[in-house]
Amino acid sequence: MLWPAMTQLNFQWELLAPEFILVGWAGALVLLDLFWGSSAGLRTGRIGKEPLGYLAAAGAVAAALVSLFWIGDHKNFADLIDVNNYTTLFRVFFGLTAAFACIASARYVKDRLLHPGEYYALILLSVVGANGMAAASELLTAYISLELLSFSLYVLASYDKFDLRSNEGGLKYMLLGAFSSAIFLYGISLVYGVTGSTHFNAIGEVLKGDTSDIDMALLLGLALMIGGLGFKVAAVPFHMWTPDAYEGAPLPITALISALSKSAGFALFLKLFTQAFLPLIDDWRYFIAALSVATMALGNLVAIQQQNLKRLLAYSSIGQVGYLLMGIAALSPESASALVLHMIGYVVTNLAVFVCIIIYYNWTGKEEIKDYAGTAERAPFLALCLSIALFSLAGMPLFAGFATKFILFQSAAQEDLLWLAGVAVFFSFVSLYYYLLIVKEMYLGEPAERTRFPTPWLEYGALSLLVAGVMFVGLYPQPVYDAVEDSTATIFAAVEDSAAVSERP
Amino acid sequence: MIPINDFLVLSAILFSLGMYGVLARRSAVLILMSVELMLQAVSINFITFAVYLSPEQFTGVIFALFVITVAAAEVGLALAIILRLYRNKQTANVDEADIMKW
């Protein structure tokens, strides 16, 4: 296997501009908070905790916009980081996700947390990690990016340092995360040992040949890597940390974990399995399908009995991971697009749900389902948005959840996994039950008081955008689907390109 | 030359010991040490493969270096979080960190 020699490597640093912006912005936020922050000893010219959040959001949006510059390009930085449509899609997506998380954090952080500068800096750094996971074309880069994302989230999850639940959630997340990355690494080392390379395409090339003499080590490595990635995306049986980390973490961070960590995990999962492990699909397809069924079943069934809304969403997110894993089990260009589309729809919807919960928490400091009794009377707009988002999560027509799930299930059925799609439809119906419980509580419950809540205009603005996104994807998914298809086509094209290269004499 | 299998067996034993430690130990600090053991097993694996299979490339060695660095960062982070729990609860035992269940 000949890989480009050192002299040919492309060191175009400007390809990493979005990441430089994010890192620079993160550093600037820490310094800003240190010298001009609300707790600095200055008399004048202080920056409050709240504007800092909007500044951070601006940084994330700026990085997302700058990454648009490489639409349609096929570039590669030093043979380690791809900059193509796949990367661009995820850079924009992660940037906007983080921006919404920052906006939703602003008031929460002001009221409840210390050290806002570091808080926002860590959010931006986690985006750098997520970008790297989507962009990596090599295992070391992917691993470092994964750890950058995870480490930022470990700290953020335990950020409320005087709250025992936050400490405990963070500790469990951290210990299990370290354990799973060790497993992931051992898997990488075995795959490196048998294939002799850490580049996705080079691994794919080797695996295309005869692998009968290295089968055991290879399959063990593959299983360990699936385990490590399964942890990051919270697939059963590697999901144990999810409910605790979700419940313990500060609310906006729960939103960030559910959106960023999950979608970055799937971005890497999809790319790695397409470019490196596609030749072995018959070996891992049913393994992943089994994980998918277990994940759907456990997530949706345990969610039914939850009282705490964050915990319920944790289990519901586990259930959603089950649907997403279908896309990997049925790996084909169509199912890859369907997976990414469903993920985008899910993240947008989930962010809308979390923005609602954060607004409600800012008003009342409560997060149990029964505390939502009669919300429709006290805050009609919030109740409406939350209902729309929950219906979308359950996969009702009109909303994003239906369209994206439909495409995903269809693509699985096309790859002879009709039974899996059937199981998924069944559990979608189960999930409708517990989402409806919340809606019922909001519209039929008796409120404790009847006074209206004050209107948080900015949060409502962000919420309207997210709900509009949910409706848009639900009613007219074509443009989003086209963009997604464009981007996933590049990772499948990369497989063919490398095949063409190796066939040359 | 020592056969490659010796190294791989050593690394597998270390990895399994670490995994046993993570599952069996109840103190957060000891769990962390067990994770370190697993990471060192990974480093041994990488260096072995780099030396025996592709001595002209540095990938495995560089990977091992990064693993060591990341492991160091991980310890710093984990100890800080354990310390927070210890300050608030006077324990670093993961069994007693049980406010949240199911």
Are A168 and B18 an interchain contact pair (Cβ–Cβ within 8 Å)? no
Nearest to A175 among B28, B99, B102 (CB): B28
Here the tokens at position A97 are 């996700």
Nearest to A155 among B63, B66, B77 (CB): B77
- Reply yes or no: is the peptide bond before residue A237 cis, omega within 30 of 0: yes
Nearest to B45 among A164, A179, A189 (CB): A189
Nearest to B78 among A139, A174, A302 (CB): A174
Are A192 and B63 an interchain contact pair (Cβ–Cβ within 8 Å)? yes
Q: Which residue has the tokens 């519209």?
A: A443
Size of interface A-B (CB pairs under 8 A): 115
3-class SS of residue A307: coil
Instruction: Please tell me the predicted confidence (pLDDT) of residue A39.
Output: 65
Are the CB atoms for A134 and A344 separated by under 8 Å?
Answer: no
Are the CB atoms for A445 and A438 separated by under 8 Å?
Answer: no
3-class SS of residue A391: helix
Burial of A258 (0-12, 13-18, 19+ CB in 10 A): buried
CB distance from A228 to chain B under 8 Å? no
Instruction: Please tell me the predicted confidence (pLDDT) of residue A502.
Output: 57
Q: Name the residue of chain A whose CA is nearest to B82's CA.
A: A171
- Amino acid in the structure at residue A313: L
Residues of A in contact with B65 (CB under 8 A): none
Are A164 and B99 an interchain contact pair (Cβ–Cβ within 8 Å)? yes
Query: Nearest Cα to B66, choosing from A218, A142, A200, A152?
Result: A142
Burial of B29 (0-12, 13-18, 19+ CB in 10 A): middle
Here the tokens at position A177 are 């995360």
Are A192 and B82 an interchain contact pair (Cβ–Cβ within 8 Å)? no
Q: Which residue has the tokens 């795959």?
A: A191
Nearest to A154 among B62, B77, B98 (CB): B77
Distance CA A430, CA A452 (A): 33
Are A151 and B89 an interchain contact pair (Cβ–Cβ within 8 Å)? no
Residues of B in contact with A186 (CB under 8 A): 15, 38, 41-42, 45
∠ at Cα A336 (A10, A428), nearest 5°?
145
Are A171 and B81 an interchain contact pair (Cβ–Cβ within 8 Å)? yes
Are A169 and B100 an interchain contact pair (Cβ–Cβ within 8 Å)? yes
- DSSP secondary structure letter of residue A269: H
Instruction: Please tell me the predicted confidence (pLDDT) of residue B54.
Output: 80
Are the CB atoms for A30 and A40 separated by under 8 Å?
Answer: no
Distance from CA of B1 to the nearest CA of A (A): 18
Cα torsion A329, A335, A341, A344 to 10°: value is 20
Nearest to A167 among B32, B73, B81 (CB): B81
Are A193 and B41 an interchain contact pair (Cβ–Cβ within 8 Å)? no
Are A182 and B88 an interchain contact pair (Cβ–Cβ within 8 Å)? no
Nearest to B28 among A171, A197, A302 (CB): A171
Are B35 and A165 an interchain contact pair (Cβ–Cβ within 8 Å)? no
Instruction: Please tell me the predicted confidence (pLDDT) of residue A505.
Output: 41
Q: pLDDT tens for chain A, 505 residues: list them.
A: 445 555 577 788 889 999 999 999 999 999 998 888 776 655 555 778 889 999 999 999 999 999 999 988 888 888 889 999 999 999 999 999 999 999 999 999 998 888 899 999 999 999 999 999 999 999 999 999 999 999 999 999 999 989 889 999 999 999 999 999 999 999 999 999 988 889 999 999 888 887 777 678 889 999 999 999 999 899 988 898 999 999 999 999 999 999 999 999 999 999 999 999 998 888 899 999 999 999 999 999 999 999 999 999 999 999 999 999 999 999 999 999 999 999 999 999 999 999 999 999 999 989 899 999 989 999 999 999 999 999 999 988 889 999 999 999 999 999 889 999 999 999 999 999 999 999 999 999 888 888 888 889 999 999 999 999 999 999 999 999 999 998 999 889 888 777 666 554 4
DSSP for A188-215, written as a single string: HHHHHHHHS--BHHHHHHHHHS--GGGH
Are the CB atoms for A385 and A469 separated by under 8 Å?
Answer: no
Q: Name the residue of chain B whose CA is nearest to A199's CA.
A: B59
Nearest to B97 among A168, A185, A189 (CB): A168
Instruction: Please tell me the predicted confidence (pLDDT) of residue A114.
Output: 87
CB distance from A464 to chain B under 8 Å? no
Mutate to test the interface with B, among A186, A216, A246 (most CBs of B within 10 A): A186
Are A167 and B88 an interchain contact pair (Cβ–Cβ within 8 Å)? yes
Query: Nearest Cα to A478, choosing from A351, A337, A327?
Result: A337
Distance CA A440, CA A394 (A): 14
Nearest to A175 among B48, B70, B78 (CB): B78
Distance from CA of B61 to the nearest CA of A (A): 11
Task: Give the Cβ contact number of residue B47 at 10 Å.
Answer: 18
Instruction: Please tell me the predicted confidence (pLDDT) of residue A34.
Output: 87
Distance from CA of A244 to the nearest CA of B (A): 6
Residues of B in contact with A302 (CB under 8 A): 102
Are B38 and A186 an interchain contact pair (Cβ–Cβ within 8 Å)? yes
Q: Name the residue of chain B whose CA is nearest to A302's CA.
A: B102
Are the CB atoms for A91 and A25 separated by under 8 Å?
Answer: no
The b-or-e profile of A181-217 (16+ CB within 10 A means b, else e) is bbbbbbbbbbbbbbbbbbbbbbbbbbbeeebeebeee
Are B49 and A167 an interchain contact pair (Cβ–Cβ within 8 Å)? no
Are the CB atoms for A261 and A235 separated by under 8 Å?
Answer: no
Residues of B in contact with A188 (CB under 8 A): 42, 63
Are the CB atoms for A235 and A325 separated by under 8 Å?
Answer: yes
Residues of A in contact with B35 (CB under 8 A): 175, 178-179, 182
Q: Residue ranges of the domains in chain A? A: 10-503
Percent of chain B exceeding pLDDT 90 equals: 69
3-class SS of residue A157: helix
Query: Nearest Cα to A246, choosing from A179, A318, A193?
Result: A318
Instruction: Please tell me the predicted confidence (pLDDT) of residue A1.
Output: 44
Element (H, E) at A77: strand A75-77
Distance CA A436, CA A433 (A): 5
What structural domains and CATH numbers belong to chain B?
A: 4-89 (1.10.287.3510)
Distance CA A278, CA A129 (A): 25
Are A168 and B42 an interchain contact pair (Cβ–Cβ within 8 Å)? no
3-class SS of residue A310: helix
Are the CB atoms for A120 and A60 separated by under 8 Å?
Answer: no
CB distance from A189 to chain B under 8 Å? yes
Cα torsion A251, A389, A268, A416 to 10°: value is 140
Query: Nearest Cα to A386, choosing from A367, A412, A407?
Result: A367
